[in-house]
Structure 1
Amino acid sequence: MTDLKIKLKCEDMIKYGLLALNQYPRSEKYGMGAVTKSAMYELLRLIISCNHKYYKKTTLQDMDVQLDILRTFIRLAAELGYLPFKKYEVWSAKVDEIGRMIGGWRKTIVLQQK
């Protein structure tokens, strides 16, 4: 069985994100770093869960919310100087790509219901 492209992209984003979290200062690795890491894992969990559900609409909405939470944490880390701009740029691009994929998935679900 082949994996979903969005799942593979999310795994790739998590790998990059874990490397980027090493840039955080020690005082924030167990604060904001831990919360950001759990947000990434929750997003992956929602993607896997949505793939196995018959009614996907609410799970897709939860994925959208979780993605927005992750974007906020990444942007906040960059603004506070915990993350170099280049890493912020690459990480944000990966998150945005996942967001576009979630948006496309939501559109197909809405079209299927009509």
Structure 2
Amino acid sequence: MEELNTPLFKKVYDLYKEFYFCLRDFPKTERYSLGQKCNLLIAELLEHVFQVNYAHKSGKLVYLEQASLKLNLLRIYLRLAKDIRVLKDEEYIYFQTEIEEIGRMLGGWSRFIKGN
């Protein structure tokens, strides 16, 4: 499956794996609320990135925009997790760095599709 080898898919896949292990350290009260919300957003982001590979040119933009929306929501929820001290500062920095790179990749792909 070639679509599993794209740099963007790999990046989001790795983000999901890292968050999965981080989620186990969330307090029980937040694991099934805020933690689960973040987990779901990353899973949906992964699905949208996967779907881009199967969509026609016009449909690709729709999935890229949906992925971008999920990514922006994830930024907000991770910031909240840091602010209420559920997420450690170093974990937050790691996730934000990865999210920034994923955002650049999504933006670049969108610009490429719009230009062609």
Q: Shorter-chain TM-score: which interval?
A: over 0.9
Question: Normalising by the residue count of structure 1, what TM-score does the alignment of the two structures yield?
Answer: 0.93
Greater relative contact order (Cα < 8 A, sep 6+): 1
Out of 68, 75, 80, the residue aligned to residue 76 of structure 1 is: 80
Task: Give distance in 2, aligned partners of 1:17 and 1:46.
Answer: 18
| Paired residue secondary structure (2:53) | helix
Task: Give distance in 2, aligned partners of 1:59 and 1:8.
Answer: 17
How far residue 20 of structure 1 moved from its aligned partner, in angstroms, is: 1.7
1:64 aligns to 2:65 (yes or no) = no
Runs of 4+ residues over 3 Å off in structure 1 = none
For 2:10, the aligned partner's letter is L
1:23 aligns to 2:29 (yes or no) = no
Quote the RMSD (CA, aligned, Å).
1.0
Unaligned runs of 5+ in 2: none
Task: Give distance in 2, aligned partners of 1:21 and 1:48.
Answer: 23
Task: Give distance in 1, aligned partners of 2:103 and 2:75.
Answer: 10
Unaligned runs of 5+ in 1: none
